[in-house]
Amino acid sequence: MHAGLRNDRERRGRRHGPRIEVALTLHAAERIGLPLPGNAQLLALDGVQLDAQAVNALYRDAAGTTWIEVPRGVHRAALRFLDCGSRPDRAGVPDGARPCALQR
């Protein structure tokens, strides 16, 4: 659990072919940095919105975790991922052979 983030975070997800969409309701008691779910080996982050606004300022730490800044309050986050196993450029590449790149 991260400081300032309540336990009642609501999560929803759905899959559209190789794309996975995740909707989160975030409750932040103060401005926080929130690690985004996902595994860079399996999923490429394809887009992030906070309160229906595109987020372009993301931070990736040395461990490969991607973070988003969340201001105080209740917010809706929409995340789009691309399943790396479904990417044409990964055809014939063994799992784990190279990480999936951050998509813009």
Per-position DSSP letters for 35-48, written without gaps between them: EPP--TTTEEEEEE
How far does the chain reach from its first CA to its final CA, in angstroms?
Answer: 28
Predicted confidence (pLDDT) per residue in 46-97, tens digit: 899 999 999 988 998 988 889 999 999 999 999 998 877 655 554 444 444 4
Residue 24 domain flag: yes
Read off the pLDDT of residues 6-33 as tens digits, 9 standing for 90 and up.
434 444 555 556 788 999 999 999 999 9
Tell me which residue of 23, 20, 78, 70 sits closest to 54, measured CA to CA. Answer: 78
Number of domains the chain is built from: 1
CA distances from 42 to 21, 31, 95 (A): 14, 29, 9
The boundaries of the domain holding residue 69 are 10-86
Q: Check residue 75 and give its pLDDT.
A: 98
CATH code of residue 69: 2.60.40
Q: Does 34 fall in a domain?
A: yes
